[in-house]
A and B are shown apart, each in its own frame.
Chain A
Amino acid sequence: MSGLSILDIRKAFGEKHALRGVSFEVPQGSTLAVLGPSGCGKSTLLSIIAGLEAPDGGDVLWDGDSLARIPPHRRNFGLMFQDFALFPHRNVFGNISFGLQMLGWEDQKINSRVREVLELVGLPGYEKRDVNTLSGGEGQRVALARSLAPQPRLLMLDEPLGSLDRNLRERLVLDLRSILLASQQTAIYVTHDQEEAFTVAGQVVVMNAGRIEQIGSPQEIYTYPASVFVARFLGQSNLFAGQVLQAQSGFEVATPFGSFPVTNHPTGPVTVLLRPDALTLDPGGQAQILGELVQLDFRGQTCQALICVNGTALRIDFPSSTSLPGIGEQIQVSFNPSKTLLIFHESEEPTRASVCP
């Protein structure tokens, strides 16, 4: 296929296994996000793809050809570091032109390309600036311009917004997306922030402890997390220990807030996820839960209610406009178990969040 293929990459540092067999593909022109907590092996993966580290096993392919024997400076891959790694002894122009000089471009061509990418990242006229005087956002844009300038076959961004404040991050992530789209850049975007990953990429790889937990579109991953880890990492808090049993009418799952029918599951202990936005006040739902409203947190567009059912706390998001009963009063919510109840065949220790305050 055209684009990048990662085949069963493994890497250990002494006893510590950083990558335990990672495979995925990035088709030409698309952006893939690698999402995971710090220490999950994301940065090692990028170093291996860039050729800065050699894998213990597996291979990196471009258009089907192995890159194992190509040193980093001949791969024509761009890598943008989290701390930008701008050369302190060169100004903005010197940084952006570096890759072009390495390619042996003529001065005139270099000048116009530098001007072009500076405009692309929204910093026209910054050529002469000292990189040590740039603000965080400017540094990020210069680093991006430097990576983009030699028109790499693949651009890798390692937590490119990680060191910036939230406001700036939210603005820059949209800019980044449009820049990547405009230049039809094949890109890998590494981050620990799900919102960034979902905004920037068409495909998301969720990694944990050197392994891939799930690959899919942002919608798929958000709606149907493939494991307890993914669900928890995405901030889903309604995770409960449950038990799948065989009942008269088929299978059902016993949870702290009641038993609900499920289709065709192996019996035994499971972890049950109830997504906070899947419950409504609508009395006509297929399953009902009755509990006591103990807490209400206003969050802007939504408000999150904490409902106590038989000593178990359940978090539910409502639109802020919903009229809810007062604190301490009974509340009845309903949901569609076959669509919103996810069952994982991994035992999960009940978390503190699921116990009533």
Chain B
Amino acid sequence: MTKPADHRSLLSWLQPLLLWLPPVLFLSLFYFYPLGSILQVAFERSQAGLAGPFYEVFSSPGIRNVIAFTFWQAALSTLLTLLIGLPGAYLFARYEFRGKSLVRALTAVPFVLPTLVVAAAFNTLLGPRGWVNLALMDSFHLLLPPIKFTNSLTAILMAHVFYNTTIILRMVGDYWSHLDPRMSQAALTLGASPLKTIQHVTLPLLMPAVLAAALLVFIFDFTSFGVILVLGGPRFATMEVEIYYQTISLFNLPLAAALSIIQLTCTLGLTILYTQLSKRLQRPLSLRPVKYTQRRLRTWQSRVFVTLFMGVLLGLLTIPLLSLAARSVVSLERGPDPSNTNPQFTLAYYQELNQNRRDSLFFVKPINAIGISLAYASMTVMLALALGLPAALTLARDQDWRLNRWLDPLIMLPLGTSAVTLGLGFIVALDQPPFDLRASPLLIPIAHTLVAFPFVVRSLVPSLRSIRPRLRQAAAVLGAAPSQVVRQIDLPLVGRALLVAAAFAFSISLGEFGATALVSRPEYPTVPVMIYRYISQPGSLNYGQALALSTLLMIATAVGMLVIERLRLADIGEF
């Protein structure tokens, strides 16, 4: 008896391998190699050997506090985000009401904004010279701002909640909207009280989605950088911020490397946990189409409740941004009485953006910075799609292939790696042969692609998985070669998800700051780098310009996201 299966099983091995080749090569070259190099350099510098820096980390009470604070603020932020996000997810999942898709689109805007813009936005609202404090000082003739918002834990927590609520709304909300409401109804008819029903039926069913979303939020808060740097002030530092200080200000590379490794280990553990949970999230739980699970609001109480809650949610998510935009067109003339400010409409900050008053060598007009940012973003999109698509294809099709179970968490790693460490790794590893890329404009899109790539994969896999295998088989039987099947069936059918993925890559590149700050060349800054330049210089003019530039970036991002939300299929993607 012949064994005709041989070449086919070989082919079924070869195909995923070939698909993995570009992303794995890319990650090896631009993630593992720089990361390894910087860690190696760091530990070579250590006079106390390999264990020395770790000993330093754990023996220094200051740094121990940083680690403890990193966990503490991440846990607290995640909890608060869940508190705000879960009721919202419930309302989005179970009810049909007017303006829902607009609210959904708006909640997505903060997520893709650069951290610096978000931090600046909160400052304009609640900072010492923010709207609230100014109004209070004016009303009560106070000499000092009554609300101490900046440099407080509250500021950090609010910004994190502001940022990540949309993850809960989307991941949990989408899942919830497909849960069969008859299960809760069955529990109710079996005599369970509404509270018991939630406890014993709804929550257990929802748990995988809640946990996966919470973990992702936790990872984002855990590696938070820009928010802490600008809103936390010198009193607060996460590990990421400490890595930045140790590297840039103290040149203590070994300690920074030790911290990076600790951070990476924590996020790796969390990432593996997350991918395990997302796998469970994929399990179909007799999911129902949305039209069977959603109701209209019937009673006036429910209408009032939804309106109030959505109002609070929208307020929380949009007021800081509106405040930022408003502040960028207002100058605050300081009168003789310090408690009395005199807001005046002005476009001076915007005009000033085009002036090079100090004849700085590295001056770049905002229009050019935006152009540079857009060019980097376009390159990032192409690169991230070119690498993400093959990875997503094999993850979606060869689900049982053992290597895929290993590679799946691996590609999420860059998301949890210290951007500062990675940026340094780029400088150390890629400025000498064989890879002399320091002068290359490709370095920034490459760095951005590392962050965008996991997003691209995560948004493509679910919709690729939703294509019925029958369609591919039908095409194959009709004579389509495997590459033709991808071109004729897969790509047209996931067209919109592809667009979403592209948009994620685009906005991630537009907003990325941590790695860019380290590897960007001064004459080609991106918009966030320019914003940071203005913010870090004293004077209200610089501050105003930072706000003006932030507003421009925010408008660009928001318009992009609204366009995407229009094109977005109802339930594509995990994000």
Give the distance to chain A from B569, nearest Cβ to Cβ, in Å: 13
A54 to B477, CA, bound (A): 14
A68 to B4, CA, bound (A): 5
How would you classify the secondary structure of chain B's contact residues: helix, strand, loop or mixed?
helix
Kindly specify which of A34-42, A80-88, A239-247 makes contact with the partner chain.
A80-88
Closest-by-CB residue of B relative to A77 is B477
Q: Return the CB mask of B113-138 against A: 1 if under 8 Å, else 0.
A: 00000000000000000000000000
State whether A98 touches B488 (Cβ < 8 A): yes
Q: Chain B residues with Cβ under 8 A from A74's Cβ?
A: 479
State whether B492 touches A72 (Cβ < 8 A): no
Residues of A39-95 at the interface with B, using a CB-CB cut-off of 8 Å, are 47, 50-52, 54-60, 66-69, 71-79, 81, 83, 85, 87-89
State whether B479 touches A87 (Cβ < 8 A): no
State whether B4 touches A55 (Cβ < 8 A): yes
Q: Return the CB mask of B5-24 against A: 1 if under 8 Å, else 0.
A: 10111010000000000000
Q: Which of A60, A83, A102 has the most CB of B within 10 A?
A: A102
State whether A150 touches B479 (Cβ < 8 A): yes
Closest-by-CB residue of B relative to A87 is B471
Q: Which of A52, A69, A74 has the most CB of B within 10 A?
A: A52
Closest-by-CB residue of A relative to B478 is A99
A66 to B2, CA, bound (A): 10
Q: Chain B residues with Cβ under 8 A from A146's Cβ?
A: 478
Q: Chain B residues with Cβ under 8 A from A66's Cβ?
A: 2, 4
State whether B3 touches A78 (Cβ < 8 A): no
A89 touches which of B4, B477, B479, B493 (Cβ 8 Å): B493
State whether A83 touches B470 (Cβ < 8 A): yes
Determine whether B195 belongs to the interface, using a CB cutoff of 8 Å to chain A.
Answer: no
Determine whether B484 belongs to the interface, using a CB cutoff of 8 Å to chain A.
Answer: yes
State whether B5 touches A73 (Cβ < 8 A): no
Q: In the complex, which range does the number of interface residues on chain A fall in?
A: 35 or more
Give the distance to chain B from A268, nearest Cβ to Cβ, in Å: 35
Q: Chain B residues with Cβ under 8 A from A77's Cβ?
A: 477
Q: Chain A residues with Cβ under 8 A from B484's Cβ?
A: 73, 102
Determine whether A174 belongs to the interface, using a CB cutoff of 8 Å to chain B.
Answer: no
Give the distance to chain A from B420, nearest Cβ to Cβ, in Å: 45
A50 to B479, CA, bound (A): 11
State whether B478 touches A81 (Cβ < 8 A): no
Determine whether A348 belongs to the interface, using a CB cutoff of 8 Å to chain B.
Answer: no
State whether A55 touches B470 (Cβ < 8 A): no
Q: Which of B4, B475, B477, B492 has the most CB of A within 10 A?
A: B477
Determine whether B489 belongs to the interface, using a CB cutoff of 8 Å to chain A.
Answer: yes
Give the distance to chain A from B373, nearest Cβ to Cβ, in Å: 34
Determine whether A103 belongs to the interface, using a CB cutoff of 8 Å to chain B.
Answer: yes
A87 to B472, CA, bound (A): 9
Q: Chain A residues with Cβ under 8 A from B492's Cβ?
A: 89
Q: Chain A residues with Cβ under 8 A from B570's Cβ?
A: none
Determine whether B298 belongs to the interface, using a CB cutoff of 8 Å to chain A.
Answer: no
State whether B8 touches A54 (Cβ < 8 A): yes
State whether A103 touches B479 (Cβ < 8 A): yes
State whether A99 touches B479 (Cβ < 8 A): yes
Determine whether A116 belongs to the interface, using a CB cutoff of 8 Å to chain B.
Answer: no
Q: A54-B9, A87-B471 are in contact. Are A98 and B480 (CB under 8 A)?
A: yes
Q: Which of A59, A71, A73, A77 has the most CB of B within 10 A?
A: A73
Q: Return the CB mask of B448-488 against A: 1 if under 8 Å, else 0.
A: 00000000000000000000101101111111111010001
Q: Chain B residues with Cβ under 8 A from A73's Cβ?
A: 476-482, 484
State whether A87 touches B474 (Cβ < 8 A): yes
Closest-by-CB residue of A relative to B479 is A102
A85 to B474, CA, bound (A): 7
A55 touches which of B5, B11, B477 (Cβ 8 Å): B5
Q: Chain A residues with Cβ under 8 A from B474's Cβ?
A: 79, 81, 85, 87
Determine whether B1 belongs to the interface, using a CB cutoff of 8 Å to chain A.
Answer: yes
Q: A98-B488, A102-B484 are in contact. Are A72 and B2 (CB under 8 A)?
A: no
State whether A69 touches B4 (Cβ < 8 A): yes
State whether B479 touches A76 (Cβ < 8 A): yes
- Shortest beta-carbon contacts, A-B, top 10: A68-B4, A102-B479, A99-B478, A54-B5, A85-B470, A85-B474, A79-B477, A72-B476, A54-B8, A89-B492
27 CB < 8 A contacts A-B:
A52-B477, A55-B4, A56-B5, A57-B1, A67-B4, A68-B2, A69-B7, A73-B476, A73-B477, A73-B478, A73-B479, A73-B482, A77-B477, A78-B477, A79-B473, A79-B477, A83-B470, A87-B471, A87-B475, A87-B488, A88-B493, A89-B492, A98-B475, A99-B478, A102-B478, A102-B479, A150-B479
